[in-house]
Amino acid sequence: MRKLLVKTAGIAAISMAMACQTATANEALKIGFVGVTSGPAAAWGTSNVRSMQTRADWLNEQGGVTIGDTTYDIEIITFDDQKDPKRAIAGMEKMAQEGIHYVVGPNVDDGAAAVRPVAEKNDIIYFPYAFPKSLYTPPASNAVLGMIANYQSGPAIYTYLKENKGVKTVAFVAANESDPLSQRDGGVAAAEALGLKVVSSNITYQVDTTDFTPVITPAIKKRPDLLVLSGVAPANAPQLIRSARELGYQGIISTETAQDAQVLQEGAGNLANGFISVGGASTPEIASDTMREFVKRYTEKFGEYNDESNTKVYALEYIIETLKANPNALTNVEEFKKTIETFEVPNPYMKGDASLKYVGTTSFTQKRQLMVPLVVNVYQDGKFETLFIAEVD
Amino acid sequence: MEQILVNGAYLGAQYALIALGLTLIFALMNVLNFAHGQMYVLGGFVTYTIYGQLGMPYALALLVTAVSLAVVGAVVERFLFRPVIRRSQRDESTMLLAAGLGFFLDAVILLLFGEKQRGVPKLIDGVFNWDFRVIMPHDRILIGCLAVGCIVLFILFMHFSKTGRALRALAQDRDAAQLMGVDVDRYSMTGFALGAMLAGIVGGLLVTITGVNLGMGGPTSTKAFMMVMIGGAGVIPGAIVGGVILGFMESILLSALASYGDVTYLLIFVSLMIFLAIRPNGLMGKPWG
């Protein structure tokens, strides 16, 4: 009898605990991430994942996100594709198996191209940080570019340097991989279109190179006004800059990819001063209180901040806000695509009356790009300073 | 041309040091240590933590790195390779074990040190500039000299110390060495620890120049295997020669073929295949001695 009483009390306690949990916990809305979080380009994907996790925790702490009549807790499901297209496909298939319809990533061109069939077959809208136009141009319709493309930022940077720094000659150095090579080709075309003289564009290096001095020596011998490190991975940038400066190069060094100030500081120190890169989509001048709070939470959670997360914070925000605008899109990505056309809500991360809206009509003939500001930074003494801000469609 | 030769000499010195540890372990135990690159990376991260993060003197950081990696090597030999070699009838078992160890170390490094590229402050500032014909930063000259110094010390140790002689005897003929009273287990562990220590030291040296990240392990192992194959597997001078040859080939071809894109390693691999078809045992043939 006593045993029976104990058992009954135990079962009752467990049931009550479960009931309480059910009453307080929201349904989970899973958002995926497939991208690179290890190896030389890890900083790109890591800033995605950490931005998503920081924002998700923040929203969940506030009681979740109400879409239609239901309140959800945001759950971020991550997959490290190690910058390998085969793994990116496996990652996207995993997302499909989990029933996820919205995935951030991949971070590089070949990975983003590789997952396209899987995403389209499984009704997944994905937000790559990769630049092939074919992903965003009809008949493709499931990919939405999460940042500014190099063919949008490159001309803006070269024009600025030509007009303000008197740049006349330019040399390009790129890793022997599809992303950097395509970015180099785009950069060469943009530079030539602006009337700059391209003195070197054939120098490439193995992505696993550890000593860049022999690689970069031929480019330095051409003494260009501007040395462009096309598509350079955050791990390689400080070494290339260091080698170039140590070889006596005194011109301007730039890239159209985002970089990590701490990695530059540790790897190149003051030799990286003056290095120009595309920055995160925020600056002290345009950051709202929400952006500052985001940066604070991110830094507290991970112990450091990556400027690129100013851009990476946007994808999750766009997904959630678009789903709020049309709850039917939770399970039907065609509804999401319809909503893209007219979607516009206030941008919480910028001061003033900026808005979140989809753009890209000029580049892709359809709205398949997140509207984020183009911020071009210059590295100086351990941190990025804003060089100029622009807007692209 | 002078710059290319200096670049080659610097690369050759660091490559030779990387290859030494790998070939030592192969000579002693017939184990292809696929985790050699990961040990190099671990050494880089230990130095980064002590010198870069904790701000302690670089010499101390390098010493702690050497000791840490020697301990890792000894533990790996004692508790992983020794039992497998003793029980397994097939050589592939140790290869699989080494590959598995590489993945395991990758995971441990990711957990302990994160995924990002890390670097440390320059050891010394300044650049040697000979009329723009040869430009060499002072810290590279220092690291190059330290690498050469380590190689010389290692050779002296192997030739003139009792442990070195025992290791050489073990590499020549394991059974004969045992019959002559060499404690095979003890010296196998010592040799593995020494190999891992060399990988750690080179990681600790190069973190000051190239930085370190998680992804460096695999490519480093691949290059080390190439050097060992060029020089002759298990032959200590062969590893040095292989490292120097690879360093000079890389430097010369990167410069000479710069306008043709990234064909340097394509040519190096093709040359290696042709070379191995002609001399399958490498330049210096059979193991040690």
pLDDT tens digits, A120-146:
999 999 999 998 899 999 999 999 999
What is the four-CA torsion angle of A181, A183, A189, A195, rounded to 10 degrees?
-120
Mean pLDDT, residues A14-24: 51
Closest of B282, B283, B249, B255 to residue B267, by C-alpha: B249
Chain A hits for B117, CB-CB cut-off 8 Å, are 40, 42-43, 234-235, 238, 260, 263, 266-267
Give me the pLDDT at residue A11, please. 59
Closest of A223, A243, A221 to residue A232, by C-alpha: A243
User: Is residue B289's pLDDT more than 50?
Assistant: no
Give me the pLDDT at residue A57, please. 97
Locus of tokens 């710069």: B258
Give me the pLDDT at residue A228, please. 95
Give me the pLDDT at residue B252, please. 86
CB-CB under 8 Å, B210 with A263: no
- In-domain check, residue B215: yes
Mean pLDDT, residues B59-79: 95
Measured distance CA(A245)–CA(A219) in Å, rounded: 12
Chain A hits for B7, CB-CB cut-off 8 Å, are 213-214, 217
* Smallest Cα distance from B35 to chain A, Å: 16
Model confidence band, residue A393 (pLDDT cutoffs 50, 70, 90): low
Give me the pLDDT at residue B288, please. 44
* Count of structural domains within chain B: 1
Give B 159-198 residues with CB within 8 A of chain A. none
Mean pLDDT, residues A246-262: 89
- In-domain check, residue A243: yes
Mean pLDDT, residues B103-110: 88
Mean pLDDT, residues B271-278: 90
- In-domain check, residue B283: no
Give me the pLDDT at residue B41, please. 94
- In-domain check, residue A138: yes
Mean pLDDT, residues A367-393: 88
User: Is residue A22's pLDDT more than 80?
Assistant: no
Residue with more model confidence, B89 or A118: A118
Tokens standing for residue A267: 């790897």
Tokens standing for residue B18: 């990387």
Kindly state whether residues A44 and A89 are assigned to the same domain. yes
The answer to whether residues A101 and A330 touch, using CB atoms and an 8 Å cutoff, is yes
Mean pLDDT, residues A200-225: 85
Give me the pLDDT at residue B197, please. 94
- In-domain check, residue A8: no
- In-domain check, residue A277: no
Chain B hits for A39, CB-CB cut-off 8 Å, are 115, 213-215
User: Is residue A44's pLDDT more than 70?
Assistant: yes
Give B 55-114 residues with CB within 8 A of chain A. 110
- In-domain check, residue B112: yes
Residue with more model confidence, A276 or A373: A276
The minimal CB distance from A214 to the residues B115, B251, B259 is found for B251
Mean pLDDT, residues B42-58: 94
Kindly state whether residues A32 and A140 are assigned to the same domain. yes
Kindly state whether residues A310 and A231 are assigned to the same domain. no
CATH of residue A206: 3.40.50.2300
Q: What is the tens place of the pLDDT at every residue in A300-345?
A: 999 888 888 888 999 999 999 999 999 999 999 999 999 999 999 9
* Count of structural domains within chain A: 2
- pLDDT above 70 covers a percentage of chain B that reads 97
- In-domain check, residue A199: yes
Kindly state whether residues A161 and A81 are assigned to the same domain. no
A325 interface with B at CB cutoff 8 Å = no
- In-domain check, residue B248: yes
- In-domain check, residue B287: no
Minimum Cα–Cα distance from A265: chain B residue: B119
Model confidence band, residue A14 (pLDDT cutoffs 50, 70, 90): low
| CB-neighbour burial class of residue B208 (10 A; exposed 0-12, middle 13-18, buried 19+) | buried
Structure ipTM: 0.72
- In-domain check, residue B286: no
Chain A hits for B219, CB-CB cut-off 8 Å, are 206, 208, 210
The answer to whether residues A220 and A248 touch, using CB atoms and an 8 Å cutoff, is yes
Give me the pLDDT at residue A2, please. 55
SS3 A284: coil
Residue with more model confidence, A74 or A177: A74
Mean pLDDT, residues B68-75: 95
CB-CB under 8 Å, B117 with A263: yes
Q: How far is CA A376 from the centre of its chain?
A: 15
CATH of residue B32: 1.10.3470
Kindly state whether residues A113 and A169 are assigned to the same domain. no
Alpha helices in B173-263 (DSSP H): 174-179, 184-206, 217-231, 236-256
Mean pLDDT, residues A252-260: 89
Average pLDDT over chain A, rounded to an integer? 89
Average pLDDT over chain B, rounded to an integer? 87
Kindly state whether residues A31 and A123 are assigned to the same domain. yes
Mean pLDDT, residues A287-301: 94
Model confidence band, residue A13 (pLDDT cutoffs 50, 70, 90): low
Kindly state whether residues A57 and A167 are assigned to the same domain. no
- pLDDT above 70 covers a percentage of chain A that reads 93
CB-CB under 8 Å, B206 with A263: no
Which of A23-32, B72-81, B273-282 has the least mean pLDDT? A23-32
Kindly state whether residues A38 and A134 are assigned to the same domain. yes
Range of the domain at A195: 150-257
Which of A91-100, B77-86, B111-120 has the least mean pLDDT? B111-120
Report the 10 Å Cβ neighbour count for A188.
19
Q: What is the tens place of the pLDDT at every residue in B121-170?
A: 888 888 888 877 788 888 889 988 999 999 999 999 988 999 999 988 88
Residue with more model confidence, B148 or A207: B148
Secondary structure (DSSP) of A139-180: T--SB-B-S--HHHHHHHHHHHHHHHH---EEEEEEESSHHH
Exposure pattern of B244-276 as b/e (b: 16+ CB <10 Å)? Answer: bbbbbbbbbbbbebbeeebebbeebeeebeeee
Q: What is the tens place of the pLDDT at every residue in B210-260?
A: 889 888 888 888 888 888 888 888 788 888 899 889 888 888 887 777 677
- In-domain check, residue A7: no
Model confidence band, residue B113 (pLDDT cutoffs 50, 70, 90): confident
Give me the pLDDT at residue A23, please. 46
The minimal CB distance from B115 to the residues A46, A206, A215 is found for A46
- In-domain check, residue B181: yes
CB-CB under 8 Å, B215 with A38: yes
Strand order in the sheet with A226-230: A197-205, A169-175, A226-230, A252-254, A276-278, A374-380, A383-390
Kindly state whether residues A41 and A95 are assigned to the same domain. yes
CB-CB under 8 Å, B262 with A266: no
Give me the pLDDT at residue A293, please. 96
- In-domain check, residue A11: no
SS3 B103: helix
Range of the domain at B254: 2-278
Measured distance CA(A314)–CA(A336) in Å, rounded: 17
Chain A hits for B262, CB-CB cut-off 8 Å, are 176, 204-206
- In-domain check, residue B105: yes
